Structure 1
Amino acid sequence: MNRSQRLAKAQEFIWLHARLLERNLFAYLFANGSKEPVLAALHAYQNEDGGFGNALEPDKRCPTSQPQDVEFALHILDAINAMDDHMVTRACDYLATITTPEGGVPFALPSVNAYPHAPWWTVDANPPASLNPTAAIVGLLLKHDIQHPWIEPASAFCWREIEALDSTDFHTLMPAITFLEYASERERAEHKLQRIATRLAQPGVIELDPHAQGYVQKPLDWAPNPRCFCRHLFTDDIIKRHLAALAKRQCDDGGWPIAWDPISSTVESEWRGRVTIEALRTLDAYESVSSH
């Protein structure tokens, strides 16, 4: 299947099943759409406190603001090159209000417990700060040279946590890598990135079987585009095989499946809209490199 056929199938899925936000994002990324409808749709998820909630991250259905939803919003703004939008400053103001004494923000806030949510979202009454999502949020802000008083203490928290980090967990390391890719202290950051790369290169840490089932992270999860840090961890042949497998995972309805159990059919559709767009972006990013 060529790119135009793949996109045509995906577009039908997006129009039939995805949220307005992802429909507008698809139009911007793949159909010459404007970024204004994306911004308008995203704005609906921002609460009066400046944070994002309302199930922007679909696995938890709480309307109140959550740190992960801020990260989700920033990834969308990054994708449409709109990190200069006023929503970003308001989100940083919100993050300052939920920052723990350690200097970062928690994985989730206890308000998530009062609403339907996937089991991994249940949190204690006083959750500590976490690299996930603090490091990813700081990294995205640094990438776009955003200025805000929250960033400096949050960066200090990230450095302290990364110094002690020995994890191979995807959801811990990817935020850390995002932070290190854009941190201003380049020599220090490169040293930490190489430590992480050494850990990831150990046999069995990354799932290399392109057809492995279940909730596993494969090379294209670590390296969703050829310019990111983790790309150098994999040979061209490994990337080629995983790109072929990713293309073949497009379902008959035009969308890509999710690799975990959703808590409702609505949640599944919302997530599939997101992962379909990300699959298309990854395939396009690597194909554009190979065509040059």
Structure 2
Amino acid sequence: MNERFANGRQFLLREGRLLERRLFATCFEGASGQGVLDALRGYANDDGGFGYALEPDKRCPASLPLDVEGALAAMATAGAADPDLIRRACDYLVGVTTDGAVPLAFPVIEGYPRAEHFSEWTYEPGLNPTAGLAGLLYKLGVDHPWLPAAAAYCWKQIDTAELPTDAHALREILVFLEHTPERDRAAAAAADVRAALDRASWFRLDPADPEYGVSPLAIAPTADSPWRALFGEDVIQGHLDRLERDQQDDGGWPITWEPPGRAARLEWRGVVTLESLRTLVSYGRLDPAR
């Protein structure tokens, strides 16, 4: 096994959550995606949503749309879907939707430790996370009444409103555009989103920029991503060089923001380490077998 890959694996086995360990086993060791679904059930609530810090920056047990997005993303990564879990999660989304959109979180998080960036702005329904949720549901082949209404909201915002000025929201739009069945419409819209990225806050085009932000590899995390073509190949390779250099002596990758505690930091490092390994393997920078 490649030494750098093996070091990342050891970090996950030593420090990662059960969910990331299950995802690693599914992505790289031939394990069934059923283990990922089993791990996700531990984050599910009776209302159909997901909580319990599935997204580690808020330690709230209550269901939040952001945690539903995390659950869907894990299923998509594992290539495994539980129809009942998804149906109940979509039913939950129906109950918290306003005019087709959901927010990231709700004020209930204020009773629990959370990162400073979780504040009132996260309570406003918007493309982040509605577009990402809709895109993941399309990817998972879901048929539920919440999806057409959410997609209509997304298209209305993309077609008639000014695009967001935050790179996180633009990345969510690109998840939606990657998986919507309206392919010609998506291709046309992607060019506008790419132009908006250059003006967006938190976008980090320069691989030498040490600050937190959304990089091209966050938008095109795999070599076959349709959004790889939005960036010059020199930019992609520069960010891959940076990603390789960022691996720490303990085998994991660092994070560039302040989480609410030590447990959250380790959980996030597990998430980021798995993402980094998957990206480097996909782009041919790491070969697990050598």
Tell me what 1:147 maps to.
Answer: 143
Equivalences for residues 92-241 of structure 1 within 5 A: 92-100=90-98, 102-123=99-120, 127-163=123-159, 164-200=161-197, 206-241=203-238
Change (3 A) 1:66 1:202: closer
Q: Which residue identity lines up with residue 41 of structure 2 in the other structure?
A: H
Q: Structure 1 segments of 4 or more deviating over 4 A?
A: 201-206
Assess, with a 3 A threshold, how the Cα gap between structure 1 residues 32 and 157 changes in structure 2: closer, same or farther: same
What number of residue pairs does the alignment pair up? Answer: 286
Question: Counterpart of 1:282 in 2: which secondary structure?
Answer: helix
Shift of 1:121: 1.4
Which digits, 9 at most, give the CA deviation of each residue in 1:86-114, with x for residues without a partner? 211111111111111x1111121121111
Secondary structure (helix, strand or coil) at the match of 1:146 reads: coil
Matched, 1:281 2:275: no
CA contact (8 A) 2:167 2:200 kept: no
Residue in 1 that maps onto 2:4: 6
Asked if the contact 1:13/1:253 (under 8 Å) is kept, the reply is yes
Q: 2:212 and 2:202 mapped to 1: Cα distance?
A: 14
- Return the alpha-carbon distance in structure 2 between the equivalents of residues 206 and 99 of structure 1: 28
Distance in 2 (CA, whole Å) between partners of 1:248 and 1:273 is 17
TM-score (normalizing by structure 1): 0.91
Change beyond 3 A, Cα 1:129–1:202: closer
Aligned with residue 65 of structure 2, among 35, 55, 67: 67
Report if aligned partners of 2:57, 2:264 keep a CA contact under 8 Å in 1. Answer: yes
Unpaired runs of 5+ residues, structure 2, are none
| TM-score, normalising length: structure 2 | 0.91
Question: Residues of 1 paired with 2:123 and 2:248: CA distance?
Answer: 39
C-alpha displacement at 1:202, in angstroms? 6.4
SS state at 1:50 partner: coil
Contact 1:168 1:205 in 2 (8 A): no
Structure 1 residue runs without a partner (length 5+): none
Identical counterparts, % of pairs: 44
Q: Contact 2:280 / 2:286 at 8 angstroms: preserved in 1?
A: no
Secondary structure of the structure 1 residue equivalent to 2:2: helix
Cα RMSD after superposing both structures: 2.3
Distance 2:202 2:109 in 1: 31
Cα contact 2:135–2:175 (8 A) shared by 1 = yes
34, 39, 42: which one aligns with 1:41: 39
